[in-house]
């Protein structure tokens, strides 16, 4: 169902389709970038768990996770991103990192 305001956004259906196609292509590129960044972030787990082990630290570091979440909340506010959704994403990244650290630690023993 078309809305009168939406009808004024494009000169033609072809233009709207092109914008949609271009936007989806950019999203696909950004998704690839995100996955690469997540891979890079996760690959740091080996160095982190070795350092934590040497320092006698547990895998879970409450103060570090608190700092990461607080920083994410500030950035969410600055970028006008839903804080709850971003917090869930950061939680999932922390879970991924801890799982990888545990896996590495289990293989060291």
What is the pLDDT, as a whole number, of residue 1?
46
Digit-coded pLDDT (tens) for 44-101:
999 999 999 999 999 999 999 999 999 999 999 999 999 999 999 999 999 999 999 9
- pLDDT grade, residue 6 (50/70/90)? confident
Written as one string, the DSSP assignment of the chain is ---HHHHTS-S-HHHHHHHHHHHHHHHHHHHHHHHHHHHHHHHTHHHHHHHHHHTT--S--HHHHHHHHHHHHHHHHHHT--HHHHHHHHHHHHHHHHHHHHHHHHHH-
**pLDDT bracket for residue 2 (50, 70, 90):** low
Q: Name the residue among 42, 34, 35 with its Cα closest to residue 101.
A: 42
């Amino acid at each position: 169902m078309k809305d009168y305001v939406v009808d004024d956004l494009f000169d033609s259906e072809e233009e709207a389709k092109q914008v949609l196609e271009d936007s989806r292509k950019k999203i696909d590129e950004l998704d690839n970038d995100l996955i690469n960044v997540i891979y890079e972030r996760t690959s740091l787990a080996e160095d982190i768990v070795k350092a934590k082990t040497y320092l006698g630290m547990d895998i879970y570091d409450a103060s570090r996770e608190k700092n990461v979440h607080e920083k994410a909340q500030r950035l969410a506010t600055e970028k006008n991103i839903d804080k709850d959704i971003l917090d869930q994403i950061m939680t999932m990244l922390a879970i991924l990192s801890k799982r990888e650290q545990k896996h590495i630690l289990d293989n060291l023993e």
